[in-house]
Chains A and B, each alone.
Chain A
Amino acid sequence: MAIAKAERLMNLALCLLGTRRPLSKRELRGSIEAYMEAGNDESFNRMFERDKDDLRELGLVIETVENLEGETGYLARRDSNRLPPVSLDAEEAAALGLAAKVWQQARLAGAASGALQKLRAGGMPEADNPYEGQSSAIEPRIPVHEAAFEPLMLACRDRRPVVFDYRKSTAARPETRQVEPWALECWRGHWYLAGFDRDRGAERVFRLSRITGKVRSRAAKYTAEVPDVVTVRETVASWAGESADRSALIRLRAGAGYPLRAKATAVREGADGWDELEIPYGHGLDAWLVEFGPDVVVVGPADLRADVVDRLRAVAGA
């Protein structure tokens, strides 16, 4: 039976951490059973390169040193690999324990527990169940349903340009976009990417659920400077019509449309079974108002009134 990968990785890690002098590939191959069984040189080399990458992925700093004979050696020095002392009290440990549970994405959930386990090995106190006792009852969860999330997270981390097909909300066909990714942000349960769009020569925000197909990353440098602060939320909020700069006047049937009332800046109750409301008028208000059907009548402005009537005609005439 083939030797399990975790066993092979563990052996390589212990060898590299345990040595004071660089070990050559030949030495490592001679001391790790899985490498002895690896077959020819080519398959061993491939396996060894992949294993080194995997160990680096979990935080190991592996140095490559050339010895006098020109042979390459590898070692993981203790002082560049140790976790500095972290002194957390029981409350702080419980708080981190709660935070580590929020990811609903395998890679980050694994990384968060890995971090806690390192802290635990470093002496972090063992907290009680955070859901009992004095802690808040809230269970926050970060949803990640989008397939594009992981490749984009890695591209943001490693600062690698990406190429993907993207379909704007109203476009019939996806278009290929070349982007230098800056940051990912989750807002109202959806993930967005901010970055520099190479073809448009400007900053753009993308909604991950609208990316179709695979995200491919390119080994190239960024051409645009990455800003210190990336603000995804403001851009998305303006799409959602939350940056209203005008006001609309509507008539609303008494008792109906609670969310409109909650947003209203002024409400005047009428005697005829209808109330008059002033509400902020931003992008998308027409679509929202028609949802209330015969319970809403737009008084003004005229363009909003025309848009609502137009939408209603489309449904009525069908």
Chain B
Amino acid sequence: MAANAIDQTRRMLSLVTYLRERPGAHVADVARAFGITEDELISDLDVLPMCGTSFRGGDLLDIDTDGERIWWRNPDASGESTAEPLRLAADEATALLVAARAVATLPGLRESDRDALLRATAKLEAAAGEAAGASSRLSVTFESEGGVFADVDRAIAERRRLWLRYYSPARDELTEREVDPIRLFAVGHTYMEGWCHLSEARRTFRLDRVAEIRLLDERAEPPAIEPRDLSEGLVQPSAEDPEVVVEVGPGGRWVAEYYPHDSAEELADGGLRITLRTPDPGSLRRLALRLGREGRIVAPAELADSARSAAREALAGYGEQV
């Protein structure tokens, strides 16, 4: 898999510097140190013997592996050019510095981790020199709910069960539940993934919707399940879920930005016809109410009806008859 020639070249340049100091290095150790699979490393090792400073007269890198260990038989062939790692490129400095600064702002981070990160960031800025400049043009803020975060973090570390009062916007209600926490992650907001004993299923909880939290003495024993793949997006409707069709005018186009959907057709007036799936269409009543003049529920009819009757009931509270 030569997915990206630039990434591979950059990696091979670091690899030769690394291998120079470590004759007979183990494939498994080198792959781990470089954060790559052994297969990726082997494919680099297949390319390296074709590389060298051949203008001097055929000095190719004599790098050899038996699949377990790696030997470089002529480390002097490339002269001193591979003796030291290369300076950081602007993108490299940006990628690492922006990420480090963002993580350092997480309110729930342990102080020792934050200190280590801040020290590392300062050293990195110094080493990157000019290349660090462009990193100020990118920034990331994580939303994090400090107090709740610290309790969840502690529960995970001590493997303890949690008791929560948790807000569900779909039902506008608070429910009490016991959860065995599995992990904490931040994608925009901060979330806890855990095994929920109320629903007897894996659930993801947004920390800013936790109204109350307590550590219990029971040991957390979540079943062994694969953690969610965070690159997929947090809401993953299933194909069996009922379909909801919403038509919005130009002022309601934001719906397509906030709700994962199957399709969004452009309408002649600048609006959209959005088709999405949800296990519980009733949970979209809030959306139907919020849309006002900016859109309407086309299907299912029960959802449109429930929004209409909720609006009528609400108007009665203002002394209005509809």
Contacts and interface: CB of A to CB of B under 8 A. Distances in A.
B103 A120 contact: no
B183 interface: yes
Interface in B271-322: 271, 285-293, 296, 304, 307-308, 310-318, 320, 322
A119 B292 contact: no
Interface string B157-177: 100000000010100111000
A153 B32 CA distance: 30
B11 A114 contact: yes
B215 interface: no
B94 A111 contact: yes
Contacts of B322: 313, 316-317
Interface string B126-158: 110101001011111111000001001100110
A244 B80 CA distance: 63
B141 A187 contact: yes
B308 A6 contact: no
B7 A136 contact: no
A22 to B, nearest CB: 12
Interface in B67-104: 78-82, 84-96, 99-100, 102-103
B: interface residue count bin: 35 or more
Nearest to B118: A95
A117 B10 contact: yes
A70 interface: no
Majority-rule SS of B interface residues: helix
Interface string B111-131: 011001101100110110101
A118 interface: yes
A294 B88 contact: no
A58 interface: yes
Interface in A69-87: 78, 80-87
Interface in A90-147: 91-96, 98-100, 102-104, 106-122, 126, 134-143, 145
Interface stretch (B52-60, B197-205, B216-224): B52-60
Contacts of A95: 100, 103, 113, 116-117, 120
B94 A118 contact: no
Contact of A115 (B12, B92, B270): B92
Given A258-B211, A309-B320, A139 B184 contact: yes
B113 A136 contact: yes
B251 interface: yes
B189 A189 contact: yes
Nearest to B227: A139
Contacts of B4: 106, 110
B28 interface: no
A55 B5 CA distance: 11
A96 B96 contact: yes
A222 interface: no
B91 A82 contact: no
B211 A262 contact: yes
Interface in A36-58: 54-55, 57-58
A290 interface: yes
A205 interface: no
A249 interface: no
Contacts of A156: 134, 137-138
Nearest to A117: B14
A186 interface: yes
A140 B95 contact: no
A59 B188 contact: no
B137 A182 contact: yes
B109 interface: yes
A206 to B, nearest CB: 13
Contacts of B103: 95, 98-99, 102, 140
B186 A290 contact: no
B5 A6 contact: yes
A183 B141 CA distance: 14
B270 A121 contact: no
A296 B88 CA distance: 56
24 contacts: A4-B5, A11-B51, A14-B78, A86-B124, A95-B117, A122-B84, A122-B85, A126-B33, A140-B102, A140-B103, A143-B188, A153-B137, A153-B138, A183-B139, A184-B137, A184-B139, A186-B188, A189-B189, A258-B167, A291-B286, A293-B289, A296-B314, A297-B314, A315-B289
What are the 3 A-B residue pairs with the smallest beta carbon separation, nearest first?
A: A189-B188, A172-B270, A59-B89
Interface of B: 2, 4-15, 17-18, 32-35, 47-48, 50-56, 78-82, 84-96, 99-100, 102-103, 106, 108-110, 112-113, 116-117, 119-120, 123-124, 126-127, 129, 131, 134, 136-143, 149, 152-153, 156-157, 167, 169, 172-174, 183-190, 211, 230-231, 233, 250-251, 253-254, 257, 269-271, 285-293, 296, 304, 307-308, 310-318, 320, 322
